[in-house]
Amino acid sequence: MDFFEAQAHAKKRTSRLVALFALAVAGTILAGYFAAVFALRQTSGYRANRIYGGYEISSVTRPPPALWQPELFLGVTFATLSVIGLASLYKWNEFSAGGSAVAESVGGRRVDPHTTDTAERRLLNVVEEMAIASGVPVPAVYLLPDEPAINAFAAGLTTSDAVVAVTRGTMEKLTRDELQGVVGHEFSHILNGDMRLNMRLTAIVFGILVLGLAGRGILWTLSRGRISSRDSKGSGGLILAIGAIGLALLIVGYVGYFFGRLIQAAVSRQREFLADASAVQFTRNPGGLTGALKKIGGYALGSSLQSTKAGAIGHFFFASGFTSMFGGAWATHPPLGERIRAIDPQFDGQMFDPPEVVDVAHESFVTAGLAPARKPLPLDLTPRVSRPLAAIASIGTLTPDQISNATTLLGSTPARLRTATRTPAEATVLLYGLLLDDAPAIRAKQRGLVASRAGADALRTLDELDPSLRALRTEHKLPLLQLALPALRSLPRTALDPFFDTLDELVHADERVSTFEFLLQKLLLRTLAVGRAPDAAVVQIYSFNAVAAEIAVVLSALARAANNADLNAADAFAAGAFASSAFAAGAAQIKLIADRIGFLDASACDLVALDAALDKLATASLPIKQRTLLACAHVVGADGQILIAEAELLRAISAALDCPMPPLTAAA
C-alpha cells in the first residue's frame, strides 16, 4: 500500500467512522427523547380527590402526554447536538496546537537535542534515521518520564507537527533493534494518516461522554447538598426533578459513550495489525518488534500507564495502556499473542523472562545506542538517479535500504553541523551557511549580509562552521535542513520574519535562484507554517479543472529545469523542443485536462509563478496531488534518468504538496 492509497484508506475509514458515530449520536438523541417523555408522563398526569354528593371521587385532572411530540424531539435533538458538538470542538481546539499539545497533556517532556544521556541519544538517533529515510520533517521527540512501562505513541494533525513520544520504560528496557521496531510502528501511523483519525476519534467520543459527565456532576452535587426540613417541603419536587434529569443524562451519556468506545476500539485494533506489518516491512527485522512485544508480556508492568490523563488517548499508544472494563470489546489493541503470531507464526507463547540483575556496565556498543545493530548498506552517491517513477512510488514509505542509507548519511555528516541543528540560534546560522556561494565575491557579500542582519555573534558561528560547510557534500544538505526543523519550530514569531528576510537576501545575492535554494525556502516556509497551525491544512479543491493552470505551470517549470542541463545552452531551439516533448510526456498522464494545458513560456513558469501554483495545489485532494506528481516524474524521466538538480526540484514540489519523498539515491 503506497502513501496515497494509505491516505485514501484513512479518509474512507474516517467517513465510515463519521457514519458509525452519527448512529451512536442518533441513539443518544433517541435515548434522551424517551427519557424526557418518560419524565413528563410521570409528572404531568396526577390524581385529585373531589367530593360530590358526599362521595370522594379520585380522577386524573390532566391526561399524560403523547408518546410522539415533535417539538420535544426537536428540542432534545438540538440540545444533544449542541452539547456534543461544543464539547467535541473544545477537545479538537485543544488538539489544534498539534502533536506537542497531546504529548504535554499526558506529562511528556521534550527530549533535549543536546542530551548526553546515552538512552536519550539512542532514541533521537533512531527517530532521526526514520525521518530522513521517509522524507518527513523530523518529529519532535517526547519522553514520559513517570511511566516505567513499555509504551509509545505518535500524535499530530500533519507530518509537520507530528511528535513521537515514548515512556521511560521503552527507552530503558528495549535494545536498539526493539526500539527501532516500536518507532517504525509509530512512523506507520504518521505515514498512513492514522494520527489525524485518532484525534477525531478522541474529540467525538469526548463530546458524547460530556453528557454522562454532566449527569454524574448533577447527581454528585445533589448527594453532597444539605436540605433543611423547611426547604424540603417547597423544594422537594424540584430536587426530585433535577435528580431525575441528572440520572437521565448519566444513563443517556454513558450509553452513547459505551457504543462510541466500541467503535473506537474496533477501528484501533485493525490499525495496530497494519502498523505492526508496516514496521516489520520498514526494518526487515521482525525480531525487533516481536522482542518489544514479548518484553511487554514478560515485565510485570507490561504496557500499563500510570497517568489517568492518558486514558482519553489510549488508542494512540503502541500497546494497551489500561485494562478494559468490558474485556475485549473495549480493548484498543489486539492481544499480544495475536500480534506476535501475526509476525511470527512459530511463536510458542513464551514471553520475555526479565533478568533479576541488569549489568549495564557491560552493555554492548550497539545496545547502548552508539551504533546500529546491522551494518548499513553503502550509500551510492552517483550524481544520477534512475527510475524517476520509483521516486514517486517511494513517497510515504520506509524500507530497510532507506533506513540504512539514512544511517550512512547521518553518520557521514560532519558532527559539528549536526550539533548546530539542535539549537535555534545555531540552526539559523547553519541554514545561512548552506546558502553560501562558492564564488569568493558573492560569498563575501553574503557574509556581510549575515553580519548586518543577524549580528556579529552569528558571523562568528558561521566562521566556526565554515570548514565543515566547505567539506559538505550535496546529499547532506537536505537532511541537515530536516534535522534543524525541530529547533526552528521553537523560534518565536518575532524572530521568524527577520530570519526569513535574511534567507531571502542570501538566496538573491547572486541574482538567481537555484533549485536547492528554492527547495530550502519552500520546505522551510511550508513546514513551519503548517507546524504552527496544523488545523489550517485543509482540502479545498477536488476538481482537476480548478487547478489546470497551476498544473501547467508546475510541469512547464519542471520541463525547462529538467532538460536544459544536458543540452548546449546555445541551442535554444533544441532545448525548447526537448523541454516541450518532456512536458507532453507529463501532461499525457492527466488525461482529464490534457487538452486544456499547454507548454508555457519561461516567463510564465518562473519560480515566482511556480511558488504560487504550489501554494494552490497544496489545498488540492490527494488524487490530484498523486496524479500531478506522477506527471512530474514522467517529465524528469523523459530522457530516462534524473539528475540531482532535477531530484531537488521534484522533492521541492513533493514537499510543497505535503507528500514526504525519501532521499533519492540510485537504490531509490
Q: Is residue 519 part of a domain?
A: no
pLDDT of residue 158: 86
Per-residue cell: 55 = 362521595
Q: Within the chain, what is the greatest distance between any pair of CA atoms?
A: 123
Side-chain-facing half-sphere of 354: CA atoms under 13 Å? 13
94/108 same-domain check: no
pLDDT at 124: 94
511: left (phi over 0), alpha (psi -120 to 50) or beta: left
Q: Please determine, for residue 533, whether its predicted confidence score (pLDDT) is greater than 80.
A: no
Residues 638 and 591 in one domain: yes
For residues 14 and 366, the model is more confident at 14
Q: Of the candidates 513, 546, 565, which is a domain's last residue? A: 513
| pLDDT exceeds cutoff 50 at 566 | no
The reply to whether 560 and 617 lie within a common domain is yes
The pLDDT score that the predictor gives to residue 370 is 37
> What CA–CA distances, in Å, run from 322 to 155, 170, 189, 458, 585?
19, 16, 20, 50, 55
Do residue 218 and residue 288 come from a single domain?
no
How far is residue 499's CA from residue 9's CA, in Å, rounded to a whole number? 39
Predicted confidence (pLDDT) per residue in 158-208, tens digit = 888 899 999 999 999 999 999 999 999 999 888 887 788 778 777 877 877
Check whether residue 573 and residue 460 sit in a common domain.
no
Q: Which range among 156-170, 293-307, 319-333, 570-584 has the greatest average pLDDT?
A: 156-170
Lowest mean pLDDT across 2-16, 29-43, 358-372, 545-559 = 358-372
- Among the ranges given (149-158, 163-172, 312-321), the one the predictor scored with the smallest mean pLDDT: 312-321
Mean of pLDDT over the chain = 79
Residues 337 and 445 in one domain: no
Q: How far apart are CA 505 and CA 432, in angstroms?
A: 10
What radius of gyration, in Å, describes the C-alpha atoms of the chain?
30
CA dist., res. 666 & res. 655, Å (int): 20
pLDDT of 601-625, one tens digit each? Answer: 988 988 889 989 998 998 898 889 9
Residues 300 and 288 in one domain: yes
pLDDT one-digit tens code per residue, 252-264 = 666 666 766 676 6
Same domain for 302 and 251: no
Instruction: Say whether 617 sits in a helix, a strand or coil.
Output: helix
Distance CA 315, CA 318 (A): 8
Range in 163-172, 239-248, 629-638 the model is least confident about: 239-248
pLDDT (tens digit, 9 = 90+) per residue, 57-79?
555 555 666 778 888 889 888 88
94 counts as catalytic: no
Strand, helix or coil for residue 40: helix
3-state helix, strand and coil shares in percent for the chain, rounded to the nearest 5: 65, 5, 30
Do residue 218 and residue 82 come from a single domain?
yes
User: Is the predicted pLDDT of residue 445 greater than 60, yes or no?
Assistant: yes
| HSE of 131, CA atoms in CB hemisphere, 13 A | 29
| pLDDT > 80? residue 271 | no
Q: SS3 of 421, please?
A: coil
Considering the domain boundaries, does residue 60 fall inside one? Answer: no
What per-residue confidence (pLDDT) applies to 441?
Answer: 92
As given in the structure block, the three cell numbers for residue 305 are: 500507564
Please report the pLDDT score of residue 180 as a whole number: 94
Q: What is the pLDDT of residue 238?
A: 60
Question: What does the pLDDT look like over 569-597, one tens digit per residue?
Answer: 445 555 567 888 889 999 999 988 988 89
Distance CA 622, CA 337 (A): 36
Q: Is the pLDDT of residue 411 over 50?
A: yes
Task: Note the pLDDT of residue 184.
Answer: 92
pLDDT of residue 304: 85
Please report the DSSP string for 332-368 in residue order: SS--HHHHHHHH-TT--S------S---GGG--TTTT
Distance from C-alpha of 28 to C-alpha of 31, rounded to nearest angstrom: 5
The whole-number average pLDDT for the span 422-440 is: 92
Look at the chain and count its residues. Answer: 668
Q: Which of 395-399, 415-419, 561-565 is predicted least confidently?
A: 561-565
Which pLDDT belongs to residue 465? Answer: 94
Give the integer Cα–Cα distance in Å for 434 and 196.
34
Query: What is the pLDDT, as a whole number, of residue 374?
Result: 41
CATH code for the domain of 288? 3.30.2010.10
Strand partners, 163: 140, 155
Q: How many domains does the chain have?
A: 4
Judge whether 562 lies within some domain: yes
565: closest CA among 635, 644, 653, 452?
Answer: 644
CA dihedral in degrees (541, 547, 548, 551; nearest 10)?
Answer: -120
Residue 28: all three cell numbers together: 443518544
pLDDT at residue number 4: 63
Q: What tens digit of pLDDT does each residue of 340-393 get?
A: 998 888 898 888 877 654 443 444 333 444 334 444 334 343 334 445 677 677
Q: Is residue 351 part of a domain?
A: no
Task: Name the residue with higher pLDDT: 226 or 20.
Answer: 20
Q: Both 253 and 284 in a single domain?
A: no
Contacts of 250 (CB under 8 A, 6+ apart): 212, 215, 216, 218, 219
Between 566 and 469, whose confidence is greater?
469
What is the pLDDT at residue 569? 45
Same domain, 542 and 632: yes
Catalytic residue, from 120, 186, 475, 517: name it. 186
pLDDT of residue 525: 84
- Same domain flag for 91 and 132: no
Residue 368 included in any domain: no
What pLDDT is attached to residue 362?
A: 40
* Residue 188 covered by a domain: yes
pLDDT band at 429 (very low <50, low <70, confident <90, very high): very high
Q: Check residue 58 and give its pLDDT.
A: 54
Range of the domain at 506: 409-513
**Higher confidence at residue 453 or residue 205?**
453
What 8-state DSSP symbol labels residue 395? Answer: T
- The reply to whether 376 falls in a domain is no
